[in-house]
Structure formats: C-alpha cells, structure tokens
Amino acid sequence: MRLRLKLVLLAAVPLLLSVALIAAAVRHQEQALARREQALVQEAYMAARQAELKHYVDLAVSTIRPLYERRHQDPQAQAEALRLLGSLDYGSDGYFFVYDLQGRVLMHSRQPELLGQNLWELRDPQGQPTIQQLIVRAKAGGGFVTYPWRKPSSGQMVPKLGYVTALPDWNWMIGTGLYLDDIQTTLGALDRQVGAHITTTLLWIAGIAMAGLGLLSASGLWLNLSEHRVADAKLGLLARQVVRSQESERAHLARELHDGTSQTLVSAKLMIESAVDSLERAGSTPPPALAKALERLNDALGEVRHLSHRLRPATLDTLGLPAALAWLGHEFGEHGQLQVHLQLDEPEPPLPDEVATVLFRVAQEALANIGKHAQAQRVSLTLSAEREGVCLTIHDDGQGFDLPAVQQDPQRGIGLRNMRERLESIDGTLELDAAPGAGTTLWARVPAAALARLGAVGAEPA
C-alpha cells in the first residue's frame, strides 16, 4: 500500500469514527431530551387537566348548592339538581355524571341508557372495579381517578381522568372527566417532531462527514497530482539529460572519427600514394595489391566520414537545422534514388540546440523508415516556423501502413515510439496520418512556449 493512501486512511478512519461517535452521542442525547420533554409535557398536561376538572366539579357543586342546602332529602330539589347538572357540559365529550354511593346511576347526560342501573360490580379490562374506585375516592373527600371508559364521540374505550366528590346528605357522588387520548395524540406528534429533528441532525452530521471525506479525497488527489507533476517534470528532465548525453557521446564519437580515425586513414592514404608515385618514377609498376589497398583505403575513409556525419553532422552545430535537414535530404535522395522536395524556413530566432537536435533525429528516423519500408518514389520535407511554434512535416507517396495495428503491436513501431518520446521530452507532439496504399504523413510540432522555455534554459550560464 502506498504511503499516500496510508496517510489518507489514517486521516479518514479517525474522522469517520469520530463522526460516528458524535452521531451516536447526539442521537442518545436527543432521545433522552425527547423523553424528558415528553415527561414534562405529560406532567404539565395532567396538572392542567386536573386543575380544570376540579374547577368544573366545584362549579357544578356551587350551581346546585342552594338546592342542596334548602332541604335535605327533598325529591324535588334533587330532581332539579339532576336537571341542572345534566344541562351543564363543556365540549362534545365534557359532561357530568351522578351516582348514589351504592353504585346506581342517577344521571348521565351522554349515556342515558345507564340510568337506574347499578354499576357497583363494573370492572375494566384489567379487572379493576371502576365505580367502586370512584366512590371510595369521593367518600375520602374527593380526588382523581384514572380509568378506561367509552368515549361518546368515537365509541372507543380510551383512558379517562375523572374527578369526583361526594354529597353525603343526598348520598350522591358527582363527577366529571376528560379523555386522555388527546395527550397521546399530542405526545405522538411530539415524538414525530423529535424524530424529524434527530433525522435532520444526523443528516447534517453525515453531510459534514461526507464533506470532510471529500476534502480528504481532494487533498489526496491534489497530492497525487502534485507528485505526478513533479514526477513528470523529473522524468522529462531525465529524458532531456539522456538525450543530451546521447548527443554529447555521438558528437564525441563523430569528432574522434573525424579528427582521429579519419586523419589516420588520410595519412595512410598519402603514404601509399607517395609510395606508388616513387615506384612509377623509378620505372617500376606498382603491385596490384597496392592499388587494391589504396582503393579499399579510400572506401574506408568515405565510410568513416559518412559515419561521422550520421553520428553528429557538423552542419547542425555550425549552420543550424535547415542546413542539416538539407544535407540529410540530399544524401537520402542520392542513396535511395528518390525525388526529395525540400521547403525549409529559417526560424527566427534560431532554434535551441535541444530542439534542433530532436527534430533532426526525428527526420533522420523518419527517412530511414521510408527507405526501409515505404517503397516511395517522392518524399517532401518541410520545416515551417510560425507564431504558434515550429513544425517539421515529412510526407511520402509510398505504400503506407496500418497505423493502429503498428501502435498496438509491441514488437513493431519502435522507431515511432522513439520519435514520440524524443518530442515529448521537449514538450513537443508527434502526429501521423497513414493507411495502407495511401502514403504516410508525419508532423513533428514544438510549441512556442517550449521554444521559449528551452531557449531561456539554454541561455543560462553553466
């Protein structure tokens, strides 16, 4: 695993763990807060309802108190009192009920079918005696009782909070109650609201985590790109240094051949020619082997000079790229018996040595390939210098080749790869247009920015 990936993971894993722990802590705290809030809401709701119920019962008792205090056990007064209590209500499910202390229903404004029934033995689904609990609380001076009862508006059994008090002189229990399903609805809405808040908070945390991961990824990508750019720059510099080293070695070998081997061969040639002249002046016929040796020596001298020019033509260093390309084109035309058309502009200012060398080697490689494979009759070589940069164009009318197949075959196209790599080392580009039977055109371009940069580098003092 690469060091950069390890660093990114070392940064990302603690971040994810921290975000996960924060999310868990936030969720736990919000749930605990929601439970406390529900408890407070329920407590406040019950307190308000209890106060409300006690107020309603006190109001009902005060309404019938003049009748209650007029005469004890007066049937007419009790009947009037039951009528008044039956007329009191507060909402669709707010009403009063009256039982005697033995559990018989004396008044129930919402369920008149219960009148006269004795509900002393009535029990709720859990088996608790509902009416007995109410009467016990009423006899104890009044109080609150929670019990299930059928809600008139819905007909469903729901929890109910009741408040009852006793009128001992009349043997009555008066009470009222509020159904508690409303608070369940309120608490359910509160739960949903808290759940939505928790979800929103977790989404924010997830978004922050994703943003952090994105930042880490972007940082890692930026580091990778930076390192790739540095590596590419170093690779390009290394490639240029290799090319310089190769050209320097070629120039050294060319000088050695020209100044050393070539001069030795010239000296040997002069000595043989002098010996031949001496023999001829003495009236002797030079042996055939000597003449043959002189011929072979001339051939060797020509080969050495040709090899010296192939390694590094002196024209390239003294007269520049156009002159070197002209020499190369004429030599190629003479040896290959082809028509070579030259159109060579003189760049202004002169091309940097590195650019001139690369373009010369590209032309040299391209002409060598044409001589080996193209079977061409005519070749054009053009050097054009424009504002956008310099372009070397080489076209032949030969048999062409299948360019995609050559590029995909690792055993072929070595010369093309060499040309492309040489141009890429100076930020140049190589383009080819080739097809079987349609000839081949090559464009080697070096942009103006690369020319300026290489020219500035070449102008720096060593």
The CA distance from 414 to 385, in Å, is: 28
Instruction: Answer with the residue of higher pLDDT: 286 or 137.
Output: 137
pLDDT of residue 462: 38
The CA distance from 393 to 395, in Å, is: 7
The CA-based diameter of the chain, rounded to the nearest angstrom, is 186
pTM: 0.45
Instruction: Answer with the residue of higher pLDDT: 288 or 391.
Output: 391
The CA distance from 100 to 146, in Å, is: 20
pLDDT band at 347 (very low <50, low <70, confident <90, very high): confident
**DSSP type of residue 357:** H
Instruction: Answer with the residue of higher pLDDT: 121 or 268.
Output: 121
Ranges 225-234, 237-246, 283-292, most confident: 283-292
**Residue 397: HSE in the Cβ half-sphere, 13 Å Cα cutoff:** 8
Ranges 134-148, 169-183, 403-417, 445-459, most confident: 134-148
Q: Tell me, which fold does domain 314-459 have in CATH?
A: Heat Shock Protein 90 (3.30.565)
- For residue 461, pLDDT over 60 is answered with no
- For residue 71, pLDDT over 60 is answered with no
The sign of the dihedral angle between the CA atoms of 328, 331, 333, 337 is: negative
Average pLDDT of 406-415? 73
Least confident of 26-30, 216-220, 270-274: 216-220
Of 152, 134, 151, nearest to 143 by C-alpha is 134
How are the residues of the chain apportioned to helix, strand and coil, as percentages rounded to the nearest 5? 65, 15, 20
**CATH number at 3-179:** 3.30.450.20
pLDDT band at 134 (very low <50, low <70, confident <90, very high): very high
The CA distance from 209 to 8, in Å, is: 14
**350: helix, strand or coil:** coil
Q: What is the strand order of the sheet 105-108 is part of?
A: 105-108, 96-100, 172-179, 157-167, 143-150
Residues 368/415, Cβ–Cβ less than 8 Å: yes
Average pLDDT of 243-249? 63
Tokens of 368: 């060598």
Q: How many helices (H) and strands (E) does the chain have?
A: 12, 10
Least confident of 215-219, 443-447, 449-453: 215-219
Please write down the HEC assignment for all residues of 224-280: HHHHHHHHHHHHHHHHHHHHHHHHHHHHHHHHHHHHHHHHHHHHHHHHHHHHHHHHH
Pairing assessment for the beta strands 339-344 and 378-386 based on DSSP bridges: parallel
pLDDT of residue 253: 67
Q: What is the pLDDT of residues 249-290, one digit of tens each?
A: 666 565 666 556 767 776 777 777 777 777 777 777 777 777
- For residue 378, pLDDT over 80 is answered with yes
pLDDT of residue 130: 92
**177: helix, strand or coil:** strand
The CA distance from 246 to 226, in Å, is: 30
Q: What is the pLDDT of residues 293-311, one digit of tens each?
A: 777 877 777 776 666 656 6
Average pLDDT of 171-178? 93
The CA distance from 177 to 95, in Å, is: 7
Tokens of 458: 């070449």
The CA distance from 379 to 392, in Å, is: 13
Average pLDDT of 225-244? 66
Q: What is the mean pLDDT of the chain?
A: 81
Ranges 94-103, 300-309, 380-389, most confident: 94-103
Instruction: Note the residue count of the chain.
Output: 462
Domain extent listing, the chain: 3-179, 214-312, 314-459
